[in-house]
Amino acid sequence: MTKAQYVGLCGERWVAGQIEQLGLRCRLLPDFMEPGADIIVEEQLRVEVKYAHQTSRRRIDRKTGSVYRYDRWQWNLQKFDGMNAKVLVLVAEDISHRCYPFVLPAWMMIDRPGFQITSHPTKYRGLLADFLENWRVLTYILNHGWERGEPGPWAEVPE
């Protein structure tokens, strides 16, 4: 097992624990060589997990020479095709080791080689902001389905 696989497995175990706290049964599908899904929920819903640590990037202003540092979280989605999993969980871990999951329909990230956020997940206001710790997306897709192109309730997912 490589270091990247071990880190990914830690993220998958964390997500599985969160799903079990919702009262749902789940099991890990630990096949590192086969792209697809990492977790299966209630033996019917496949979930893909991507895990990112907080890193920082340095930027130099060419005019003043000032150095700026900004935090970022990056997820590599090159091997993610969105065909096997219906739910994608992007986990962002900050420097205090607190995890922030973005729970979203998998089709939202099809055809993206990667994704990054450059502000702390609690302050992030971009494309995925409505999906931060929104486990209702998972339960909604489990109970009703949610295919690409269908109108979705986005932030207002029913209980």
Task: Decide if 150 is inside a domain.
Answer: no
Where does the pLDDT of residue 155 fall: very low under 50, low under 70, confident under 90, or very high at 90 and above? very low
- What is the model's pLDDT at position 33? 59
The more confident residue out of 37 and 154 is 37
Give the start-end residues of each E strand in the chain. 26-28, 39-41, 45-53, 55-60, 67-76, 87-93, 99-105, 114-117
- What is the model's pLDDT at position 23? 94
Task: Decide if 81 is inside a domain.
Answer: yes
% of residues, the chain, pLDDT over 70 = 89
pLDDT tens by residue, 94-109: 999 999 999 999 888 8
* pLDDT score of 77 more than 70: yes
Task: Decide if 158 is inside a domain.
Answer: no
Residue 62 contacts by C-beta under 8 Å, 6 or more apart in sequence? none
Task: Decide if 156 is inside a domain.
Answer: no
Amino acid at 55: T
- What is the model's pLDDT at position 158? 43
Question: Average pLDDT for residues 59-76, to the nearest whole number?
Answer: 85
pTM of the model: 0.84
Where does the pLDDT of residue 34 fall: very low under 50, low under 70, confident under 90, or very high at 90 and above? low
Name the β-bridge partners of 49.
Answer: 89
Range of the domain at 25: 3-144
Q: For the domain that residue 77 is a member of, what is the CATH number? A: 3.40.1350.10
Angle, alpha carbons 150-136-138 (nearest 5°): 65
Q: How far apart are CA 11 and CA 90, in angstroms?
A: 9
Residue 29 contacts by C-beta under 8 Å, 6 or more apart in sequence? 36, 37, 38, 39, 40, 46
Q: How many domains, the chain?
A: 1
